[in-house]
């Protein structure tokens, strides 16, 4: 299972800028917004396959994730980093402006990820062994009453906002639920072990899911909520982790902590096209605010690989001073800071995206995992630690 105090700031530099800075985003179909527009080419958006899903830019699926393009829905949200500590049953809350821990809140048993809702208005703590979701109000930073949900290892949202998708890893199910009440809509049993991460095709018609313990991928029809196929990765013992689609929508990248790199997958044909080495324990995948680079956390060697989308090759690698275990995280709203949890070191890393130097090393609870940086640019959330479009 993707499983996995003392030291303070180790450098200088500005933290994550408040998501409320810069111009607010207005985009067609975005929750709470009214006017249409594209950051680069108004009118160039392509209609989606799902009713209710906002149109998209086929040249850059992350075109609405530029610095300052924070939805007006969450313009007043508190700039915070929420860190679920799997072994402490807590969430550490960090003020990114000064890297200070401002609160540690008790949640359910074994929180794995903090996930922004599709409409951006709620942050859901996935209490996996506690069988519940704890909502956090991003405007106050305070938790609400937990909602019973069985085995919520990870959480995604369909691009039309119609369903939450619970990655029920131990139950071997994808559970489609009402995105607000979490009432069950449909249960899809899956023939693989360890369903955990996913990403969607450009038009939202299907999504690809990694199965960590069986070394397989699933292709799922978003509209009918049915299984379209199962794909075995071509390496014995493969352990696929995070999934991320390229900006042009042509390639799915799958981090694999045993293969120590990225599998490339043709989503339409549903076939593996290659393996790109990055580092030991390749784990989390995060796209830069200009859509040129993907940050790959290599948990087994304490490094971050910068993968260049244009050349489809690693460009360079950053080493965390004195080592560490970089896992899941996110990029600040202004794109200047990469935040990653240190799964086996009870700490969080704030890393400058300018040159890779460590801005801060922040002690948190035990087993920090899928932290959420909030707010971030984008019209809506697809889930996980913050996959925005």
**Is residue 20 very low, low, confident or very high in pLDDT (cuts 50, 70, 90)?**
very low
pLDDT in tens, 50-79: 999 999 999 999 999 999 899 999 999 999
pLDDT at position 34, please?
32
From first CA to last CA, the distance across the chain in angstroms is: 27
**16 with 63: CB under 8 angstroms?**
no
User: Reduced to 3 states, what is the DSSP secondary structure of residue 189?
Assistant: strand
pLDDT at position 6, please?
32
**291 with 389: CB under 8 angstroms?**
no
Phi/psi at 73 (5° precision): -60, -35
**157 with 163: CB under 8 angstroms?**
yes
- Give the integer Cα–Cα distance in Å for 149 and 146: 9
Q: Please report, for residues 50, 118, 222, 256, the alpha-carbon distance to residue 186 in angstroms, rounded to integers and kept in the order given.
A: 18, 18, 12, 29
- Give the integer Cα–Cα distance in Å for 314 and 294: 9
- Give the integer Cα–Cα distance in Å for 57 and 256: 28
pLDDT in tens, 302-360: 999 999 999 999 999 999 999 999 999 999 999 999 999 999 999 999 999 999 999 99
**305 with 286: CB under 8 angstroms?**
no
Q: Indicate if the pLDDT at residue 32 is higher than 70.
A: no
Q: What percent of the chain has pLDDT over 90?
A: 88
**110 with 27: CB under 8 angstroms?**
no
pLDDT at position 31, please?
53
Q: Mean of the pLDDT values across residues 105-131?
A: 98
pLDDT in tens, 209-249: 999 999 999 999 999 999 999 999 999 999 999 999 999 99
């Amino acid at each position: 299972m993707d499983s996995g105090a003392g030291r303070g700031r180790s450098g200088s530099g500005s933290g994550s800028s408040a998501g409320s800075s810069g111009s607010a985003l207005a985009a067609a179909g975005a929750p709470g917004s009214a006017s249409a527009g594209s950051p680069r080419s108004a009118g160039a958006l392509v209609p989606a396959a799902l009713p209710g899903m906002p149109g998209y830019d086929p040249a850059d699926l992350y075109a609405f994730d530029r610095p300052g393009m924070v939805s007006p829905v969450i313009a007043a949200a508190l700039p915070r980093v929420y860190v679920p500590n799997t072994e402490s049953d807590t969430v550490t809350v960090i003020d990114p402006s000064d890297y200070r821990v401002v609160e540690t809140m008790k949640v359910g048993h074994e929180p794995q990820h903090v996930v922004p809702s599709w409409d951006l208005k709620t942050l859901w703590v996935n209490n996996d062994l506690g069988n519940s979701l704890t909502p956090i109000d991003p405007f106050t930073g305070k938790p609400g009453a937990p909602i019973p949900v069985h085995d919520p290892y990870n959480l995604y949202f369909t691009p039309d906002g119609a369903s939450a998708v619970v990655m029920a890893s131990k139950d071997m199910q994808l559970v489609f639920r009402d995105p607000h009440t979490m009432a069950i809509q449909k249960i899809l049993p899956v023939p693989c072990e360890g369903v955990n991460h996913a990403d969607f095709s450009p038009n939202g018609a299907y999504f690809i899911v990694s199965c960590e313990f069986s070394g397989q991928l699933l292709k799922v029809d978003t509209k009918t909520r049915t299984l379209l196929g199962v794909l075995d990765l071509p390496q014995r013992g493969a352990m696929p982790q995070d999934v991320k689609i390229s900006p042009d929508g042509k390639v799915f990248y799958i981090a694999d902590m045993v293969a120590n790199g990225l599998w490339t997958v043709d989503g339409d044909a549903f076939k593996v096209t290659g393996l790109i080495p990055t580092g030991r324990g390749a784990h989390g995948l995060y796209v830069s605010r200009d859509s040129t680079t993907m940050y790959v956390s290599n948990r087994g060697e304490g490094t971050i690989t910068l993968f260049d989308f244009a050349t489809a090759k690693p460009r360079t690698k950053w080493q965390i001073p004195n080592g560490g275990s970089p896992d899941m995280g996110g990029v600040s709203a202004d794109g200047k800071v990469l935040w990653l949890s240190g799964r086996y070191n009870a700490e969080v890393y704030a890393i400058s995206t300018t040159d890779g130097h460590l801005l801060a090393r922040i002690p948190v609870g035990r087993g920090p995992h899928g932290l959420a940086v909030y707010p971030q640019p984008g019209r809506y959330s697809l889930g996980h630690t913050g996959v925005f479009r």
